[in-house]
Structure 1
């Protein structure tokens, strides 16, 4: 799990959640080094440091359109690539 995967390679991750998903994020117990910033209209951002970006990528993707990686840029790009691949798979179907 990426939740406690710290170290010298740890980077700051920031993920935005829409109002729908934010209520579930608020109810979870997060490690002390995780920070929730409340935004307008019930949205929030969750900020934390981790070196486990692959785990974060898979975790964020399970929320679909209810979440968006804001930082770091390399994680955001990886999520975009995965989602493009998934979209292509669904548009073209298996051949």
Structure 2
């Protein structure tokens, strides 16, 4: 499972997040999605830690905490929804 981290500064880096979350345990991976068209960070990310206990400690400590001028939103990440594929209409329209 991973942690969702929202309301991030657009200047935040993977190294920055790793440093913050490392205070609560071993950080396995950090992902900061970027916008496909602009390449700019989207303002949220995901952190994976080594254990559920470490994730829980980080969530409890950091949810609502002020960091880089913003109040972070930190909680368990929900599984991605299947948005379906392809898009567009089919048939004789």
TM surpasses 0.5: no
Greater fraction of residues in helix: 1
